[in-house]
């Protein structure tokens, strides 16, 4: 069986940076050591850190934790969360992805200028909730699909600033922007989908279009992995979404000549390698 592994599979820059920050704090012996929510969307990585004394701080129980070192996850948090943690005596180490921080600065600046902020993304995703927390005032909307884009409406004199969740589907982003543009508003579009996400999506689509089966590896609650699966599924009917090598057997693929493998930005290399070896046997 021919196995094609996507070059972009695995940790992106922002995720690797966040993981490295946690590892350094473990080595430095920081105690108590927390991450605000799971540091990344990968249960295997979070479990490994917990075994090394890192506690995942639950967002609705912040008052229950004694002062310590809190690492802000790669998805980022709201301004209010940062201020609250500092007020409770915690030392903050910010591992927010730099591309996400760029969005925080953009919505802060544009909302101060009186513009209506539109975030294209999943309203329940922690990255999007964090972005909302850097907007000044309530002049914002979160748009995730065609229906919400068609229903979007603001004062005709408003300037609309559009940003995106970094892991959003690039093609879908363009589609939603076009729907909003047709409404005739004065619009500023900031394409904040990170280059690594776009590259990963394009590469996954290309591979899926020339193999008999496609395997997408990543956590079930990983937004970027879900997008990869959706993209691959449109190009290859036999597309499988797994979290670890234990979730997959080569016999699941049936009689095929080629299989492609890609993985979300929070998937460790060792898991990708295990899946690749299984396919090669």
CB 225 within 8 A of CB 201: no
Give every CB contact of residue 88 below 8 A, 6+ residues apart in sequence: 62, 63, 67
CA 103 vs. chain centroid, Å, equals 13
What is the rounded CA–CA span in Å between residue 45 and residue 271?
Answer: 11
What is the rounded CA–CA span in Å between residue 128 and residue 192?
Answer: 12
CA atoms within 13 A on the CB side of 113: 13
State the catalytic residue, choosing from 43, 50, 127, 178: 127
Phi, psi at residue 31, to the nearest 5°?
Answer: -145, 140
At what angle are helices 223-235 and 195-208 packed, to 10 degrees? 30
Token pair, residue 164, equals 């995106």
Token pair, residue 215, equals 């395997």
What is the rounded CA–CA span in Å between residue 52 and residue 46?
Answer: 10
CB 76 within 8 A of CB 127: yes
50 is catalytic: no
Give every CB contact of residue 140 below 8 A, 6+ residues apart in sequence: 107, 111, 116, 117, 118, 119, 132
Q: Which residues on adjacent β-strands are paired with residue 125?
A: none
Which residues form the catalytic set? 127
């Amino acid at each position: 069986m021919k196995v094609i592994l996507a070059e972009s599979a695995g940790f992106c820059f922002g995720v690797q940076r966040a993981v490295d920050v946690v590892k350094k704090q473990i080595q430095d012996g920081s105690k108590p050591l927390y991450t605000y929510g799971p540091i990344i969307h990968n249960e295997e990585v979070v479990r490994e850190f917990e075994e090394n004394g890192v506690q995942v701080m639950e967002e609705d129980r912040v008052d229950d934790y004694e002062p310590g070192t809190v690492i802000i996850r790669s998805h980022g948090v709201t301004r209010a969360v940062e201020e609250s943690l500092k007020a409770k005596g915690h030392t903050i180490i910010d591992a927010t992805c730099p591309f996400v921080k760029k969005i925080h600065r953009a919505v802060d600046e544009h909302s101060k200028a009186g513009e209506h902020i539109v975030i294209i993304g999943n309203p329940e995703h922690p990255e999007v909730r964090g972005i909302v927390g850097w907007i000044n005032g309530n002049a914002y909307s979160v748009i995730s699909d065609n229906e919400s884009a068609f229903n979007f409406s603001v004062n005709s004199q408003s300037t609309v600033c559009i940003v995106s969740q970094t892991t959003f589907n690039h093609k879908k982003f363009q589609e939603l922007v076009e729907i909003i543009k047709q409404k005739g508003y004065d619009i500023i579009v900031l394409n904040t989908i990170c280059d690594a996400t776009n590259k990963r999506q394009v590469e996954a689509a290309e591979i899926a279009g020339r193999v008999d089966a496609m395997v997408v590896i990543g956590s079930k609650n990983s937004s970027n992995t879900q997008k990869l699966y959706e993209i691959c599924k449109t190009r290859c009917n036999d597309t499988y979404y797994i979290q670890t090598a234990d979730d997959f057997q080569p016999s699941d693929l049936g009689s095929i000549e080629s299989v492609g493998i890609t993985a979300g930005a929070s998937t460790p290399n060792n898991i990708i390698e295990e899946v690749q070896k299984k396919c090669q046997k």
